[in-house]
Amino acid sequence: MNVLVVSNMGPKKSAPVLGLFVNNQVKRLKHDISNLDYFYMRWNGDSFFHRLFKYPFFFFSFFISVVLNPKKIDLIHIHYYYPTILSAWLYKLLRNKHVKVVVTCHGGDIYCYQSPSQTYKKLICIVDHWIFTSKRLQQSFYAQNISYSILSAGFDESIYFQKTDIAKQYDVAFVGCLDHNKGTDRLEALVKACPEKSFIVIGMGPHLTRFLTLSKTYKNLTVTGALPADEVAKHLTQSRILISLSRNESFGLVMTEAMACGTPVIATKTHGSEEQLKGSAYLIEQSNESELISAFIKALNSVLSAESHEYQKLSENALAISNKYRLESICLEIEAIYRNLVAK
């Protein structure tokens, strides 16, 4: 079985960990599938030329290195449906009309196409199986009469696990891209409203400079920029709470990673947080923006003022939630999907 994983996510200066979860999946899948190759967007960036030419270059490179390659692919796994699916269509058209196609939808490939083009809709027919990171994301998809599975990206359990010998140094951690969708305006408001609470902010993005400037004024704020995964895991363990302030989130792997470290999560209500924190008192409604910060402060105070045994219960619950999203388990399910499709 020859498998090719294709992703339109590759690291760039403003997001050096973009696509890292796909890389981790590929590395783990290679343990059991020796004939698995990986093609991803290597020429990536935020400049005008990148925005204009990165996809033409991506598809041209795919044509040269994959379509013209004498090695025959049995199954293509696309990460991020549109427009990445065009690479699978190209291979199916020019090389192997029987190639099986699996697509993992990550959120933006659905949220950004609520009024899909004819091309978007027509290419659905070449997909044999769909993977969605949450049930709510699947329900938001244009097509419903499809074969699908609900699987998260999976957290790397060799990096993210509870370490009892590390002391708590921060009250609140925020990890992610520093942009509007991730709620950086909300984060700034929280930092200003809670001068007695210590915050650590980890990540890159268009608002990084703003937060580096804020950290000079607000001494309760530490900003690190992007960090390697092992450093992120250490800081998550050092934090009493992780907050997620996203406006849209199909899954939110960092929430799982924090819980795998035993760190409770307080999050805005999104498809991803509902999937992971269903029934939790620490899911914050987004319907009223003016009251959102007050709701977060109330939740933060509740967790931070908890007695030791109460916090321990929150930590144990977080660990229990994270267990079903282990990378090893996710990859076993993906491998089974591959083998079942190729065997048909």
Name the burial class of residue 183, with classes exposed (0-12), middle (13-18) and buried (19+) by CB atoms within 10 angstroms of its CB.
Answer: buried
Name the CA radius of gyration of the chain, rounded. 21
Quick check: 141 pLDDT over 90?
yes
What residues contact 153, with CB distance under 8 A and at least 6 apart? Answer: 21, 22, 24, 25, 133, 251, 253, 330
The pLDDT tens digits of the residues spanning 191-224 come to: 999 999 999 999 999 999 999 999 999 999 999 9
Q: Is residue 335 domain-shared with residue 318, that is, in the same domain?
A: no
Domain presence at residue 159: no
Q: Is residue 187 domain-shared with residue 319, that is, in the same domain?
A: yes
Look at the chain and report how many structural domains it folds into. Answer: 2
| Number of Cβ atoms within 10 Å of the Cβ of 212 | 15
Q: Is residue 311 domain-shared with residue 339, that is, in the same domain?
A: no
State how far Cα 136 lies from the chain centre: 15
pLDDT for the residue numbered 20: 82
Distance CA 172, CA 113 (A): 34
pLDDT for the residue numbered 14: 73
Domain presence at residue 163: no
Quick check: 134 pLDDT over 90?
no
Q: Which of 9, 14, 320 is nearest to 182 (CA)?
A: 14
The pLDDT tens digits of the residues spanning 219-258 come to: 999 999 999 999 999 999 999 999 999 999 988 999 999 9
Q: Is residue 99 domain-shared with residue 115, that is, in the same domain?
A: yes
pLDDT for the residue numbered 43: 85
Name the burial class of residue 178, with classes exposed (0-12), middle (13-18) and buried (19+) by CB atoms within 10 angstroms of its CB.
Answer: buried
pLDDT for the residue numbered 332: 95
CB 176 within 8 A of CB 253: no
Quick check: 17 pLDDT over 80?
no
Q: Is residue 210 domain-shared with residue 254, that is, in the same domain?
A: yes
Q: Is residue 200 domain-shared with residue 148, that is, in the same domain?
A: no
CATH of the domain at 294: 3.40.50.2000
226-161-283 Cα angle (round to 5): 75
For residue 76, the enclosing domain spans 3-154+326-343
